[in-house]
A = this chain, B = another copy of it.
Amino acid sequence: MASTKPNLLVGTDVVDRKNIERLSEHSKVYTLANTTGDDLERILPIVDVLLVFSWPRELTSENLQKMSGLKFVQSILAGVNHIPFANLNKNVIVSSNAGAYSDEVAEYALALLLSAAKRIVELHVSLREEKWTLRRTLDAGTEVTILRDKVLGILGFGGIGTSVARTARGFGMLVYAYSRRAKPAKGVKIFDGEDGLSSVLRESDAVVLALPLTNQTTRIINRERLSVMKNTCVLVNIARGELVDEKALYDQLLSLPNFIGTPHVSGPSGLATGRPVQLAVGNTIRFLKGLRPQNIVDPREYVTSYPY
């Protein structure tokens, strides 16, 4: 008897055998790694569901045009700005993996915030180079920034923002969150709109960017908005670099002693916990079962920035 299950193409090797088995209960599973050349050409038109980590290099816009039966795309990465929305049929449902890495990324945000506030990198380099340049400012007390009772502004109050807020409250910080969809949370003051954004930026002693990268959020931190912030404010961008107008600021910032930058590392360690794949596979199974998947994104909010 021919299979009547939907056809699922897994476009990444981060899905382990156990999760492939879970998917196989509800679909006929093909993996991109084991499907090349003619086989791929044959499969593309019958693919119903696509599970990707980031968008696979093998799936060019030409391939995508041939995926005429595609109904659902699930990302294992939290963000979906890698998905080529411009070439995707409007009826295709795309789900992000929002929340899958939230706690790991929130920990990393706090690590960057504390490193900047306590000048860890700068002081460590001074110590190692035996340059004891630290000015003793016992009276001014400006050596390091104390977080307790200070205002933390969080831009974007999804999974990461919520987790950052919870952890920051443990330090006794007051939390202001800028969010389109105001969800009440204990000890968090919600702001909305352009005026709300200005208030958060103006009153915060530290700002964490935890927004998705969309048309509306690209370069949300520009010269004008930077100018309203306190000049002692610590700015932590835990999300996509393009949230900040880096063209204007990167050269200048990189040479500043209080700039801290690290590569993209907090997600991969989160991936290794197995949780992101587990959640993405679970959401894919929701779709395969005919249920409404979670974390459906609005394609109109996303630019096609993936270079292919």
Binding site for B on A (CB under 8 A): 14, 103-104, 107-108, 110-112, 114-115, 117-121, 123-128, 132, 134, 136-148, 166-167, 169-172, 254, 260-263, 265-266, 268-273
User: Are B263 and A126 in contact (CB-based, < 8 A)?
Assistant: yes
User: Are A134 and B169 in contact (CB-based, < 8 A)?
Assistant: no
Q: How near does chain B come to A213, taking the closest CB pair, in angstroms? A: 20
**Which residues on B sit within 8 Å (CB–CB) of A134?**
263, 265
Q: How near does chain B come to A113, taking the closest CB pair, in angstroms? A: 9
User: Are B111 and A265 in contact (CB-based, < 8 A)?
Assistant: no
**Which residues on B sit within 8 Å (CB–CB) of A112?**
118, 120
- CA A22 – CA B185 in complex, angstroms? 43
- A122 to chain B: closest residue by CB: B262
**Which residues on B sit within 8 Å (CB–CB) of A128?**
254, 261
6 nearest CB pairs, A to B? A141-B272, A170-B170, A111-B114, A123-B262, A111-B118, A143-B265
- CA A33 – CA B125 in complex, angstroms? 36
User: Are A138 and B271 in contact (CB-based, < 8 A)?
Assistant: yes
**Which residues on B sit within 8 Å (CB–CB) of A114?**
107, 110-111, 114-115
The answer to whether residues A144 and B265 also contact, given A14-B138, A114-B114 and a CB cut-off of 8 A, is yes
User: Are B269 and A124 in contact (CB-based, < 8 A)?
Assistant: no
- A103 to chain B: closest residue by CB: B148
Oligomeric state, in copies:
2
Set B121, B126, B171: member contacting A107, Cβ < 8 A: B171
**Which residues on B sit within 8 Å (CB–CB) of A14?**
138
Set B132, B146, B167: member contacting A171, Cβ < 8 A: B167
User: Are A146 and B111 in contact (CB-based, < 8 A)?
Assistant: no
**Which residues on B sit within 8 Å (CB–CB) of A262?**
118-120, 123-124, 127
User: Are B141 and A268 in contact (CB-based, < 8 A)?
Assistant: yes
User: Are B269 and A144 in contact (CB-based, < 8 A)?
Assistant: yes
User: Are A127 and B263 in contact (CB-based, < 8 A)?
Assistant: yes
Set B126, B138, B263, B270: member contacting A146, Cβ < 8 A: B270
- CA A254 – CA B124 in complex, angstroms? 10
- A270 to chain B: closest residue by CB: B146
**Which residues on B sit within 8 Å (CB–CB) of A147?**
107
**Which residues on B sit within 8 Å (CB–CB) of A268?**
136-138, 141, 143
- CA A139 – CA B119 in complex, angstroms? 32
User: Are A170 and B167 in contact (CB-based, < 8 A)?
Assistant: yes
- CA A266 – CA B272 in complex, angstroms? 35
